[in-house]
Structure 1
Amino acid sequence: MGQIAPDHGAALRPGLDFARPWDSITLARFLRQLPSGITVLHDAGDRPLRWVEPSDIDDPTPYLVDHELILTSGFPLVEHAADAAKVRQFVARLVDANVSALGFGLDPYFSAVPPTVIDACRELDLPLWQIPSSLPFAAIGLAFAKLMEADNARLLRENAEANRHLMRCVGSEHPEQEIVTVLAHRAKAAVQLLDQSGRLRHYAAPTGLQPAQGQELEALLAQASAAQGAKLVVSESAGHHHLAFPIRPTSTSGARVPPLLGVLQLSFAHQPGAAEHNLMSTALGLLEVVARQRVLGSVAPGQLATALLLDGAESLDSGAMELFNSSLGGALRRAPRVVVAVPRAQPTAQDPSHALTRLRSLLDTKLVIHSGGRFAAITRSEPNRELLDRIEAAGYLAAFSRPADPGHGEGQGVSLATNLRELAGQARGLVPRLLDEGRSLSADQLPQSFSALLPQEAGRQLATHLLGNLLQLPAKRRELYLQVLRAWLDANGSWDATAAAIDVHRNSVRRHIASISEVLDMDLSRAEVRHELFLALRFLP
């Protein structure tokens, strides 16, 4: 339910409540996308809709996020449909959980929505839909997914165009002023760029929109300047949302807190959404690199390009593709990869430009960036043993992604950036295991599974913790229970298949699984519990 709903802060900075790309979906808009046959038994007005969730448990509210459409067959109310008080309690829990609407499906338990449900929804003002038996709940979920996908596609197109405009600003005579102007126009916000002392350097705003001023601006600047690292500061007044973001170098030699290069301040007349956030993130990256060019000299343009390719750019035109290819060594027929390099020992306080130069040479690429004590690079070099030995001799452990899809490597710039961001996530995902095993790794030499990404020692610790009660049993009983549990999970919960696999009567299997559930204090009927146990057993010695 709520656990599998799209995380509304996953792509955003912690602590912020930016609207997601699909937050424009409402009950009325969604209802228009559904097949005919749904009857609105109570209309309490249009409401936001963030997720669609079938549920037939007595109380789903602990698992919900705000603004869900709950679909039920009425099973929780089968024995209480005539009890108005119990039905009202059920509906009240949904209202308290901020559910947007209740969809009541007909058949197999009810041929019509019980009057007690209709009365409770009307009394508590919860929208109520009657779902005909001809419309499966799965079809409703698929319709919502398609609507989300359409909104995401629109957002990606808009982001790609806006990011292209922002990136072109870097080559202009006054890049910072151009970035501020484009950001103000695209994000529909008042934007001001201030220096380390809070003095205004550049400003742009749509007609009629004012930025933060006076004491409010001073308070924002003070909080942003004092923030550790790149922390966004938010305030709201008179319906306006004011954001301030410190611009700091990603790293600095020996300093605990990187020096402040400036502050970017934006004011919105509406709650900023995911589109505005993406624009702001790209602009901040560009402003930071422009400010740092004097610090890192000739390696700054390569870091700029790498940062945009791995974190910001949505597409590349033919000219950008030509520059990209000329930034990488090796034959064009080799597909690019993303590499994350981690120092083998605690890094000393030194200028990172030295390490950047060394890795550019080792990986035969100009596209290397230093961030958070690690290095990320785009290269055509293949992770053979000779190259890995050279990287480790230089004092680093490296995680190589798989090569980019063949269609992305030669002239397909529209999709290259998206592919590189996926490869960057792939390489970063190997880092915990790389650190655990103390050796360089390549994704194409590992199986494509979640368990392959988890460090072995960490996996063993988690397995021992999860199965602790069972592992403390006497040896004979412990081995029996482990054998039964493995076979039962491998058989996907089939009693007959488990019995045949370990030559035990099916009734005995049932008793053993019940005992295992009691020993572990876990509900083995839940899919997520079975999944955790399945993985844990793979890590036991």
Structure 2
Amino acid sequence: MSPPTAPPPLPGLRRLLGQPDLGLRLLTPEAGLPPYALDQPVEWVHSSDLADPTPFLSAHQMLLTTGRQFAEVLTDAFYVDYVTRLRDRGIVCLGFGTEVLRSGTPDALVAACQSRGLPLVEVPYETPFIAVARAAGDLVAELRYARNTWALGAQRAIALAALRPDGLSATLSELSRQLGHWVALFDMSGALDRVFPRDTFAGASASRGALDRVQREAAQLIRRGQRASTSVSTGGETLSLQTLGRRDQLRGVLAHGGPGELDQASQEVVTSVIALAGLALEQNSALDRARGLLRSGLLHALLGGDIDLVQATSGEMWGPLPFEPVRVAVTDPAPERLDALTEFLELRVEESPGHLFFARQGGLVVLCLDAGAGPLLDELVGFGLHLGLSDRAKYRELPHALAQARQALERSHEGAPGIVEFDVISRQGVLAFLARTDASEVGRATLEPLAAHDAVHASDLIHTLRVWLEHNGQFGPAATELGVHRHTVRARVSQAEALLGRDFGTFHARADIWAALLASGDDAG
């Protein structure tokens, strides 16, 4: 790779001091100034004799003064406050014009600039302030032209790189070379997809720290599901991240880092690469959609029992099917997140072929998983998804396993996003589903005579009946729990029998009333 061609910097104060025709003299020794104080860019030169000119100044300017504001000054504190205001405003240098109002530069001003780390130069009487401003303006125009020329050249080089066989990698590599920064692409899972230079994050702990930070930021941008950008500073580097793709159909995150922030010319180059990378990933997405249709067809064949066909096709495209027995997981993401989830799963298949097969089925995403699927399921929950998970099954039992997963998914929606396993709900028994079906109205209708009696007579027939059934029809234990005599329980049960027209001496009657109690979810009328 040829050496980086980073954009030329804006003219620094050192270049202005180096203009022989200006005769500027630095009064604050460089050794006593902050590092790179003389290399800060000078964007403009302003002159003022106000005691506080900061409302009319902006950062990266040089201020020139003849010292009229110091005519009545008797204390060093005034000079210190004056210089502090300039430094806090971002002024890069103060120039004092001598022989206009006084001979030489005030010693107190020199001391204040030295203590506050602000470069101070003396402007000789023969050098008009306009000459200093013109020289700075010429340097700015010269360097700005150079930077624009660089930007055009960089965009041309990047456009040519995009025409290479692996256009995306070539584009990112060229951007890294042009900026003199590292450039990285993160996929939809927040994992590092590729980085240039390739050894950027190898070895040095500082670089690894930058990678960890940028991965966290990339993952957060992706989870938001919207176009966004952010910049953070860590380890002396400025890290910038930008999502790729359309809103709600993100394709990844482009990140770059290096010392200092990029100027407008560099940002324009980055913007052009973001557009090219987004287009490349969009084209890849079109291929993914075609693969998605193939996956859906294979799932249909798999459910129909044509396992050999699916195994052969999957082996050619993505790798073998997961080993039996498998578990089926089902999730129903929001429509705007469906493409993003599909791309995430495609990446996981590429990383670990033979451990996952997935396909869309209408608005559902169906996954066939092997025994090591725990981490993947946890990642899906991290996306805020509800999932239902079947028991282990052979491929010939797949329709049955899919039905289990769908039933578990339905239960999952009763709570926060997470995983519900069919094995858990199956242990609760068939009757546990009655309260979640239309049987609830039937149950309330069955118990209505008891509920009406309890309401009118302030009795406790429904609750007593539930407790009695929970104790397998034993009057003694039921009476103990209710805190009444067992004869009271017996009388209440007999009254319930009469009101319902049922004989609780039969198993069928007891089971029917127990189901009605569960379905109604009401033990007190």
Max Rg structure:
2
Alignment TM class, shorter chain as reference? 0.3 to 0.5
Q: Give the TM-score normalised by structure 1.
A: 0.44
TM-score, normalised to structure 2, is 0.45
